[in-house]
A and B are shown apart, each in its own frame.
Chain A
């Protein structure tokens, strides 16, 4: 795809097999151009043993390199979800794994208590965590392969590099055609997935999405959101009215045995949006303690003292975490207060939870903290 002509309602397409060009006219157009991996903007970033991971092609390239070259030592740049998931994947293949992080803890967007659990988990599984280590250059051999990474802290030998430092929305094609971008840099859209141009819709990682808790248009490039936006764009483009209200910001990932899940706003973000923010943190068993497989989990709730409403929740633990967060995602969608959450009627039996589910305990403790602060 090389061009969109919104006046003639035509697009120009290049066939990548023979580079022939053709023009195709449309009545309705959906821009779902996705995002691309961000690459470090330092010398050596084009090296052939530097990988990014976004799609199947990337994964195949990494796997092929692992099989053909049998690297011993891998360096991951970035402590986000992709970097953390890949820690597990590389360790499972027996590679010495180094995680370079620009901050003091991995998953720096999450609450500190959660990030500390993640750090413990990766360290226990043999990952070398390098805090405050931002690469300044990649040193290469004559074959154009990175052999070491230079950071502000030192020089680290490596056989391959995975850069996992986020994605950039693919908006160039849209922008050139006159499609408006939002302040995040992604394509601006509305609840019907329309753009500012007539008969042009957008969906997925190239566009913004409305956050129901911060009441802002944000950039949250996640596959589940993309699919939902896609459906709405498809229906509207096909002439049936559909609406996508927005997201509360839920996600989950697994790093080794640890499940991490979150929804809504973190403490700092909630503060920036002007809420009267407080938080509560608890530890509880995932099931009744005597049941096999019961594990401790940590839950941090972020709430608004003015309204008593939940603003966000983050959890980590080895069992029963990822699914549990969805309860709190529903609570956020419904604008529930902590008091209401604490009295929810959950199904109870010892193999699944304690009589007071960790969520109920967390909400109850948050209510107590709120009451104390008001006295």
Chain B
């Protein structure tokens, strides 16, 4: 059984969530994880 490919994104403000959304859209099978050190996510998108 093959493991899902994993994309890790460091940063959850503007570029990070944009990248996550687009990656998931073009490849729904991809396992996507976003890390953010602050309290809020995607306030800049």
Contacts and interface: CB of A to CB of B under 8 A. Distances in A.
B10 A238 contact: no
Interface string A180-209: 000000000000000000000101111000
B38 to A, nearest CB: 6
A67 to B, nearest CB: 19
B14 A226 contact: yes
Contact of B23 (A55, A204, A226, A235): A235
A226 B22 contact: no
B12 to A, nearest CB: 8
A34 B11 contact: yes
A196 to B, nearest CB: 17
Contacts of A56: 39-40, 43
A27 B35 CA distance: 16
A30 B37 contact: no
A31 B10 contact: yes
Contact of A226 (B7, B15, B27, B43): B15
A4 B8 CA distance: 11
Contacts of B44: 55, 223, 226
Decide if the interface of chain A is mainly helix, strand, loop or mixed.
mixed
A229 B33 CA distance: 18
A32, A203, A231, most chain B CB atoms within 10 A: A32
Contact of A28 (B7, B11, B18, B26): B7
Contacts of A235: 22-23, 26
A230 B19 CA distance: 4
B13 A30 contact: no
A238 B7 contact: yes
Interface in A34-74: 34, 55-57
Interface string A1-37: 1001000000101001000000011111111111000
Cβ-closest 10 pairs across A and B: A204-B15, A230-B18, A32-B11, A234-B19, A234-B22, A230-B15, A203-B15, A234-B23, A238-B27, A238-B23
A279 B40 CA distance: 44
A26 B6 contact: yes
A372 to B, nearest CB: 46
Given A32-B16, A57-B38, 9 more contacts: A34-B14, A55-B44, A56-B40, A204-B16, A206-B11, A230-B14, A231-B19, A232-B22, A240-B26
7 contacts: A11-B10, A13-B35, A27-B6, A30-B9, A32-B9, A204-B13, A223-B44
